[in-house]
Structure 1
Amino acid sequence: MSRAPAVHLLASPDDVEVQFYEALREADLDKLMALWADDDEVVCVHPGGPRLIGIGAIRVAFEAMFQNGPVRAVPERVRRVQTLDSAMHNLVERVEFMSAEGPRTGHVLATNVYVKTPAGWRIVAHHASPGTEAEVPEIIEAPAVLH
């Protein structure tokens, strides 16, 4: 008898995002995959990798990634755009990893897209850019109108 993944109520895109990064840090493939929408067109792009389309391709890629252990990624500086049934989060992932010189920290720009389904919010896209060890700069446009 297989055990159901420990996924909690997905009442908001933020709930999904918290569990997504927990699943990465726990290397919990079943938990991670339970967060994805049941749709043939879901997409994932890992830093420098190909575009993965469909649950099967995404599962295989994360399974291979977890062969190296957990992914110590922490979301920071999240920017959110949300409607009634979709949301987009753009963020900086702070990734801790071991190098030949010892522990290091890198930064990856990522975009996560969520949709509201009858089963709650789910991921439909995760896109991460190649990382850098330097802090990721931001250019923020100042509002043209002051209230």
Structure 2
Amino acid sequence: MTDVEAEVLAVNENFYRAFEKKNLEAMSQVWSQGTASLCIHPGRNALRGWKQIRDSWEVIFKNTKYLEIEIEIINTEVRDTTAYIVLFERVLQASSNKTIKAESIATNIFEKMAGKWYLIHHHGSPLVR
């Protein structure tokens, strides 16, 4: 593994740590604040730009009592200032009245800007087994 791959994997890990801890501040440090950022939660419409993405995470975090996330990386690719990670997500989510176990396959795309890697695209698709 190269140093650059390790940097991208660290940002990816920070994304899932922020997700699991329901930490909006940490999430905002991982995501690009640009209008071109894109997020597609499993089974949902595309959200474009940091404001829509941030609002979606805020709603998820507010309506979730507990989150547990396991990831299994399938592939990592780094090219110049762009990188992507394809992975499985296993999410245990508890709200006030139900607990959901869900599996998704996800793609996370990162861009290096001003010497730092940022998440610019997250797309999760539900797996039905």
Same fold (TM over 0.5): yes
Q: Does 1:93 align with 2:95?
A: no
- Paired letter, 1:43: L
Higher strand proportion, which one? 2
Asked if 2 retains the 8 angstrom alpha-carbon contact of 1:24 and 1:72, the reply is no
- The Cα of 1:98 is off from its aligned counterpart by 4.6
- The Cα of 1:25 is off from its aligned counterpart by 0.8
Identity across matched positions, percent: 28
Asked if 2 retains the 8 angstrom alpha-carbon contact of 1:47 and 1:131, the reply is no
- The number of residues matched between the two structures is 121
Unaligned regions of 5+ residues in structure 1, if any? 1-10, 135-147
- The Cα of 1:104 is off from its aligned counterpart by 5.9
Partner residue of 2:63? Answer: 68
Unaligned regions of 5+ residues in structure 2, if any? 1-5
Distance 2:35 2:28 in 1: 14
Structure 2 SS opposite 1:48: coil
Provide the TM-score with structure 1 as the length reference: 0.74
Which protein has the larger Cα radius of gyration, Structure 1 or Structure 2? 1
Distance 2:93 2:21 in 1: 14
Distance 1:63 1:98 in 2: 16
Structure 2 SS opposite 1:129: strand
Specify which of 3, 9, 22 is matched with residue 17 of structure 2. 22
